Structure 1
Amino acid sequence: MSKVVTLGEIMLRLSTEIGQRISTAQSFLSHYGGGEANVAASLAQFGHSVVHATKVPDNLLGTTVIQQLRRQGVDTSAVLVGGPRLGTYYLETGIGSRAAKVIYDRAGSSFAQISKNEWSSELLSDAEILHLSGITAALTPQWCDLLVELMEMAHQQGCKVSFDVNYRGNLWSQEDAGTALTKLLPHVDYCSAGKLDAIHLLGIEPCSESEDELVYYYQAIKEKYPSIEGLYSTKRLVHSASSHELTGTFWQAGYYESSTYKLDPIVDRVGGGDAFSAGVLHGILTGMSPQELIEFATAAAALKHTVCGDSNQFTDKEVTAFLMNKSGAISR
């Protein structure tokens, strides 16, 4: 299988039990994860050789992060040790009509304090894809510049760049995100971005026709950033915090859409988008047809919603079996 490098921050997630608020919780469920690390774990489950680059403190929390990555089959040789702390966030788990709520406590983390490239060019040696996200660009202006440097390094070594816009309103404004994306997207080959990203971050005029509107947005993004070879995102119809309908979309010289999965009940939504991104990258790396790719990626995302924790716990064979058996409620 292929070598992939992912780079991004890993944090400690402290979640309330269902029905509990942060203000009244007596205990929290703990998980470790981050968007790029979740993609790494999924791709390792799918059989790829995956290196995750990050930085963690020299304490028990940092050691636990490294141990978890290794248990998931991820190469930790590019994990740097140092700095003051591991970033944390609190998740108030939603239920019914009450949505989940996130509170970040990540300022000054070991990863966020990186201001220049601390990895050698060997990080990307023989890698086919480097996967990054907008969450990292949101941390500091220095990180945005560093991502551009890493993207350029990747292309110099013949490595493709995958980028998930992954906009988080709690981290930066739409204006700041849009400015950063004008620097980043010219260096991207595969991009996870949807309708709202196109309108609010990339300055694309809203589509006047509801039919085939995603085709319009994908084509507009491609015209604005011609280096992008493939675009993908999910359409999510939310009935309640624990009941969604999920459809995957992919554009590569044509528009492709997956079957729709009814996710009810959702065990843990965190990391569902990362499992989807990993499924897309797996399809690209293994030469799947666009339709096969989007069906696999959406099935992987649907399965992630059925387990606790931030990352996918299913192999490519399990995802394929789930897809072929049409397990769960699927509408076409």
Structure 2
Amino acid sequence: MGKKVVTFGEIMLRLATPGYLRFSQAKEFTATFGGGEANVAVSLANYGLDTEFVTRLPKNDIAQSCIMDLRAHNVGTKEIIFGGERVGIYFLETGAVARASKVVYDRAHSSISTIEPGMVNWKEVFKDAQWFHWTGITPALSQGAADACLEAIKVANEMGVTVSCDLNYRKNLWKYGKTADEVMPALVEGCDVILGNEEDCEKVFGIKPEGFDVTATGGEVNSAEFESVCTQMMKKFPRCKKMIVTLRGAINANHNTWGGVLYSDGSLKVSKRYDITHIVDRVGGGDSFMGGLIYGLISYPTDDQKALEFAVAASCLKHTIYGDFNLVTVAEVENLMKGDGSGRVSR
């Protein structure tokens, strides 16, 4: 199995309206669990990697149910710390065609938002780790969460653990008096691999291609523009060895195009594009990309193109799976990479 991958962040109770009901129509909700870094850990555990998810949860039955769910997916939970008041919740209304999906957060005063540096023994957590992954969601929760995340990155850097981040800008979360551009640079400075979408680099760091609006591309790849974003990011964060941008073209809520680019060693790799015509659940799509990317970079260390193609294929499949977690196998992803997207019955 090799050395473990550690992820750190908030896991929430997800309450989704059944089918395509609006919040105002729903008389019941489907309960699952999810959250950026937990979603990545589940992907990696599915691919057979040893994973450890670090968070802070209250001592109650909902938290216990959450831990049981993680364990059921072979995610390590022994470094989870306990304290605080509650498990965060998010409500999901799934959109259809011209109506977008909606998320309502109920995560104020959750256990992880009251975490402080010193609560997690990072030296112990990383002692047999090869990789540490965090997202921009964690430092958005509170000053304490931002400080604990920075503490983890610094220890990982000292111990020679590869650090990756998904910028994951969420404007609705930055509520404690600091902005993303004040907090994020110090954390991103410690990263070897950075993932963003077209808007993250602009919203967090003000980095965008000259005279070009990436949101108006419909997800089409213009290599020069994306290369410009990647080179600017690497100039700002010289530790970064690989910069990856996901490309989502939203035709409507059920139909997206999907792909990505990876910039490293002065060259831009462009993935094949997938046309996802009947989306089942796109929540966790970016996390499934990150899970695929980490697996790809670990498994194909000399082939960035293959790592990128694995990430895009894995996240393409995630759009067909209900819930936050991407429950696919390496074989299924590799089949799609080879071009088998027919959906024929396997028997």
TM-score (norm 1): 0.95
Is residue 2:202 matched to residue 1:199?
A: yes
The residue matched to 2:137 in structure 1 has which SS?
A: helix
Give the drift of 1:25. Answer: 0.8
Unaligned runs of 5+ in 2: 213-221
* 2:29 matched residue in structure 1: 28
- Deviates further, 284-293 or 62-71: 284-293
Following superposition of structure 1 onto structure 2, how do residues 202-241 of structure 1 map, counting pairs within 5 Å? Answer: 202-208=205-211, 212-241=224-253
Query: Which one of the candidate residues 140, 143, 156 is aligned to 2:142?
Result: 140
Is residue 2:287 matched to residue 1:274?
A: yes
Query: Which one of the candidate residues 140, 151, 175 is aligned to 2:153?
Result: 151
Q: Distance in 2 between matches of 1:37 and 1:175?
A: 25
RMSD, aligned CA: 1.7
Relative distance call for 1:143 and 1:63 in structure 2 (3 A) is same
* 2:268 matched residue in structure 1: 255
Whether contact under 8 Å (1:148, 1:184) holds in the other structure is yes
Give the drift of 1:323. Answer: 1.7
Whether contact under 8 Å (1:134, 1:165) holds in the other structure is yes
Relative distance call for 1:86 and 1:191 in structure 2 (3 A) is same
Q: Could you report, residue by residue, the CA deviation over 1:77-107 in whole angstroms, capped at 9, with x for unpaired residues?
A: 1112332110001111101100011111000
Q: Distance in 2 between matches of 1:85 and 1:23?
A: 25
Is residue 2:332 matched to residue 1:318?
A: yes
* 1:70 matched residue in structure 2: 71
Q: Distance in 1 between matches of 2:12 and 2:281?
A: 17
Is residue 2:183 matched to residue 1:170?
A: no
The residue matched to 1:184 in structure 2 has which SS?
A: helix
Give the drift of 1:19. Answer: 3.2
Q: Could you report, residue by residue, the CA deviation over 1:41-76 in whole angstroms, capped at 9, with x for unpaired residues?
A: 001111110011012222221111111111111111
Whether contact under 8 Å (2:20, 2:93) holds in the other structure is no
* 1:297 matched residue in structure 2: 311
* 2:341 matched residue in structure 1: 327
The residue matched to 1:149 in structure 2 has which SS?
A: helix
Q: Distance in 2 between matches of 1:251 and 1:49?
A: 27
Q: Distance in 2 between matches of 1:78 and 1:260?
A: 38
Q: Distance in 2 between matches of 1:78 and 1:288?
A: 32
Unaligned runs of 5+ in 1: none
TM-score (norm 2): 0.91
Q: Distance in 2 between matches of 1:211 and 1:150?
A: 34
Whether contact under 8 Å (2:115, 2:148) holds in the other structure is no
Q: Distance in 2 between matches of 1:288 and 1:175?
A: 39
Whether contact under 8 Å (2:113, 2:144) holds in the other structure is no
Corresponding pairs, count: 329
Relative distance call for 1:211 and 1:234 in structure 2 (3 A) is closer
* 1:60 matched residue in structure 2: 61
Relative distance call for 1:179 and 1:33 in structure 2 (3 A) is same
Is residue 2:174 matched to residue 1:180?
A: no
User: Which amino acid letter does the alignment assign opposite residue 180 of structure 2?
Assistant: A
Q: Distance in 1 between matches of 2:140 and 2:172?
A: 10
Give the drift of 1:205. Answer: 4.9
* 1:283 matched residue in structure 2: 296
Q: Distance in 2 between matches of 1:126 and 1:177?
A: 31
The residue matched to 1:6 in structure 2 has which SS?
A: strand
User: Which amino acid letter does the alignment assign opposite residue 300 of structure 1?
Assistant: A
Give the drift of 1:180. Answer: 1.2
Identity of aligned residues (%): 37
Query: Which one of the candidate residues 296, 302, 322 is aligned to 1:308?
Result: 322
The residue matched to 1:89 in structure 2 has which SS?
A: strand
